[in-house]
């Protein structure tokens, strides 16, 4: 460490005057409105053709104000609380005025865009406006981070298999997973190769459903995502993993049933019935699946934290 400079022994005092304006700090507060439609009007831009707004410091919650994952809107009514900003950004960030609105909605849909730009953009839509999600509130971050990583996985798979994005639609599943490891391993959320593969496979059905939704707007020369064998294989592997986990916790009736056919035919019939029962996912099953995803994500984050802590305790000379 450099030696500290000797302290000056001869100190001279000098008085100066501070103006009253400079001695005060103004506290800026956001305007609050109860009605969403009023908040949207107050944040309108010039020559606006569609009600698009930016949304920051937001929470997605149920009617009781409890934060919930975005996908819960498939199960129950979900609402938004946050700061609504004009869609066009202002050059002066300090003077950019927003309107805070609590408990507005209900949310009609969520959407993922940004595939061609290479970075996911998440939208929330109500009956009044479409909201471009920026930064979530701290209390909602743990829910939003998981959904954002799922959206990011969709974008990365799109770039890997789409011809227009420079990808190869003829990849095998192993090649696709290897590509995902290369691009997603740098994220702070994953501990290494195995965690990336586990994450992509576990959300393979989600990724498949998002990409086939792009087929309606695909270019004429672009191959349909629904026909790509690598995406079908990813979806099937995801379903197989989920069915296996479901079978591990299925309660037993305590009786042994012997099928009328051969052993293989009986197993195939049992697997087919299991697939059929899981294909029609009711509200309780969706809720259980989302809660399990939350637990898996928390477990992955804790493993990442423990690994970082163990590395921090090592010193090299």
pLDDT given for residue 50 in this prediction: 81
- C-alpha to C-alpha distances, 229 to 140, 168, 204, 268, nearest whole angstrom: 36, 12, 13, 23
pLDDT given for residue 276 in this prediction: 43
pLDDT given for residue 280 in this prediction: 46
For residues 233 and 235, give the distance between their C-alpha atoms in angstroms, rounded to a whole number.
5
The C-alpha torsion from 191 through 197 and 199 to 200, rounded to 10°, is 140
pLDDT given for residue 186 in this prediction: 76
pLDDT given for residue 316 in this prediction: 52
pLDDT given for residue 255 in this prediction: 46
Q: 126: which residues sit within 8 A by CB, 6+ positions away?
A: 36, 80, 104, 105, 106, 107, 108
Bridge partners of 109?
A: 125
**Burial class of residue 178 (count of CB atoms within 10 Å of its CB; 0-12, 13-18, 19+):** middle
| Prediction pTM value | 0.73
Phi, psi of 193 (to 5 degrees): -60, -50
Each residue's pLDDT tens digit in the chain (317 positions)?
A: 455 555 556 667 777 777 766 666 655 577 899 999 999 999 987 777 788 999 999 999 999 999 998 888 888 899 999 999 999 887 776 667 899 999 999 999 999 999 999 999 999 999 999 999 999 999 999 889 999 999 999 999 999 999 888 899 999 999 999 999 998 887 777 777 888 899 999 999 999 999 999 988 876 667 899 999 999 999 999 988 877 665 555 554 444 444 444 444 444 444 444 444 444 456 677 677 777 777 776 666 666 555 555 555 555 55
For residues 86 and 42, give the distance between their C-alpha atoms in angstroms, rounded to a whole number.
9
pLDDT given for residue 260 in this prediction: 44
CA atoms within 13 A on the CB side of 137: 16
pLDDT given for residue 188 in this prediction: 72
The C-alpha torsion from 116 through 161 and 142 to 286, rounded to 10°, is 120
For residues 189 and 298, give the distance between their C-alpha atoms in angstroms, rounded to a whole number.
10
């Amino acid at each position: 460490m450099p030696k500290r400079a000797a302290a000056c022994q001869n100190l001279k005092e000098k008085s100066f005057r501070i103006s009253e304006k400079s001695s005060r700090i103004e506290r800026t507060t956001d305007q609050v409105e109860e009605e969403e439609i009023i908040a949207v009007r107050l944040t309108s831009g010039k020559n606006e053709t569609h009600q698009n707004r930016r949304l920051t410091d937001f929470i997605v919650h149920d009617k009781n104000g409890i934060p919930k994952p975005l996908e819960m809107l498939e199960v129950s009514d979900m609402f938004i609380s946050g700061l609504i900003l004009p869609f066009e950004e202002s050059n002066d960030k300090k003077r950019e005025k927003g309107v805070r609105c609590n408990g507005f909605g209900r949310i009609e849909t969520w959407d993922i865009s940004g595939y061609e730009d290479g970075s996911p953009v998440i939208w929330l839509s109500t009956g009044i406006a479409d909201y471009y999600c920026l930064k979530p509130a701290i209390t909602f971050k743990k829910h939003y981070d998981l959904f954002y990583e799922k959206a990011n996985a969709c974008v990365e798979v799109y770039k890997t298999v789409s011809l227009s994005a420079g990808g190869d639609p003829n990849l095998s599943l192993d090649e696709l997973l290897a590509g995902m490891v290369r691009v997603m391993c740098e994220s702070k959320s994953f501990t290494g190769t195995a965690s990336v593969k586990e994450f992509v496979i576990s959300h393979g059905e989600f990724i498949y459903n998002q990409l086939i939704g792009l087929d309606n707007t695909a270019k004429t020369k672009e191959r349909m995502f629904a026909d790509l064998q690598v995406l079908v294989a990813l979806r099937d592997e995801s379903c197989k993993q989920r069915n296996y986990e479901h079978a591990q916790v299925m309660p037993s009736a305590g009786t042994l049933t012997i099928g009328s056919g051969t052993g293989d035919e009986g197993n195939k019939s049992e697997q087919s019935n299991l697939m059929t029962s899981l294909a029609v996912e009711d509200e309780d099953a969706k809720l259980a699946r989302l809660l399990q995803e939350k637990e898996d994500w928390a477990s992955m984050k804790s493993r990442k934290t423990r690994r970082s802590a163990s590395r921090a305790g090592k010193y090299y000379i």
